[in-house]
A and B are shown apart, each in its own frame.
Chain A
Amino acid sequence: MIEILLMWSLFAFSVSIAVFLYRAIKGPSAPDRIIAMDTIGVNLLAVMAILSVLLKTYAFFEVILLFGILSFVGTVAFAKFIEKGVLVDDDNGR
């Protein structure tokens, strides 16, 4: 029973990733794209988590964490780039 549920949720996540992918490609503005990419990242995390339940393995846990960190840093970088036009300040407000 739980497996069918997991399968269906995997399917749902795939659909949502596809939809977000459309937004990321089409997205009229840059913030749209960034939010879409970030959400794709979150969805991927969820997919990995479900997979690790399905496959009954702990091996993906580190991957999930690491992916979360990287996606977080990436989103922050993009957001900052949009806001300020630079990624890394030379000397910030001092």
Chain B
Amino acid sequence: MESKEIILRTVTKLAIFIILAFAVFLFLAGHHNPGGGFIGGLTVASAIILLLLAFDIKAVKTGLPIDFKVLAFVGVLIAVTTGMGAMVFGASFLTQTFGHVHLPLFGETEFATAVLFDVGVAFAVLGTALSIIFTISGDIQRWKR
């Protein structure tokens, strides 16, 4: 049974990188263009779902030893904390700010706290979507037996 799903697996191995790169692009585009944490997270989730389809739960879990439920909570925590960060500086809750940082490779780069918020959102979405998928697929396996 080794030859099973050989096309799917080969395509997946290639496509996963494209999808992940696209996810990163979407995530970073979110500041001025359509995109952002929500879609970025969902795209990563779809990449991992593709992995799940091509391989199996065990392989994905050994490859990605993350508890996605915890990841979701951590994401929300990050998002809330960036909101609270504004309170520390005396602004209203959720106020976002940005500054320009000079990075060695990219030159003048805009850096905004909204990105941190988006990281949180991305984590939350990723975690929620994947924990739903994992739960349901695990449940179906149990049910079939």
Q: Tell whether any CB of A sits under 8 Å from a CB of B in the complex.
A: yes
Which A residues are within 8 Å of any B CB, using their own CB? 59, 62-63, 65-66, 69-70, 72-73, 76-77, 80, 86-94
**Max chain B C-beta neighbours (<10 A), residue from A59, A63, A76:** A76
Kindly state whether residue B49 has any CB partner on chain A within 8 Å.
yes
Q: Pick 14 A–B contacts, CB within 8 A, sort by A.
A: A59-B33, A62-B29, A69-B43, A73-B50, A73-B53, A76-B53, A77-B49, A80-B5, A80-B53, A88-B56, A90-B56, A90-B57, A91-B57, A93-B4
Segment from B71-79, B81-89, B117-125, B136-144 that makes contact with A: B136-144
Residues of A contacting B49 in the complex (Cβ-Cβ under 8 angstroms): 73, 77
Say yes or no: B52 contacts A91, CB within 8 Å.
no
Q: Which residue of A lies closest to B46 (CB)?
A: A73
Kindly state whether residue B126 has any CB partner on chain A within 8 Å.
no
Q: How far is the CA of A77 from the CA of B50 in the complex (A)?
A: 8
Known: A73-B46, A93-B2. A63 touches B34 (CB 8 A): yes
Say yes or no: B1 contacts A93, CB within 8 Å.
yes
8 smallest A-B Cβ distances: which pairs? A92-B56, A88-B137, A89-B56, A90-B141, A91-B58, A88-B52, A93-B1, A73-B46
Number of chain B interface residues as a range = 20 to 34
Which B residues are within 8 Å of any A CB, using their own CB? 1-2, 4-5, 8, 15, 19, 22, 25-26, 29, 33-35, 39, 43, 46, 49-50, 52-59, 133, 137-138, 140-141, 144
Q: How far is the CA of A65 from the CA of B46 in the complex (A)?
A: 13
Say yes or no: B43 contacts A87, CB within 8 Å.
no
Residues of B contacting A94 in the complex (Cβ-Cβ under 8 angstroms): 58
Closest CB in chain B relative to A9 CB, distance in Å: 25
Residues of A contacting B54 in the complex (Cβ-Cβ under 8 angstroms): 76
Closest CB in chain A relative to B73 CB, distance in Å: 24
Closest CB in chain B relative to A89 CB, distance in Å: 4
Say yes or no: B144 contacts A86, CB within 8 Å.
yes
Say yes or no: B53 contacts A87, CB within 8 Å.
yes
Q: How far is the CA of A94 from the CA of B97 in the complex (A)?
A: 51
Say yes or no: A62 contacts B34, CB within 8 Å.
yes
Q: How far is the CA of A86 from the CA of B1 in the complex (A)?
A: 17
Say yes or no: B26 contacts A62, CB within 8 Å.
yes
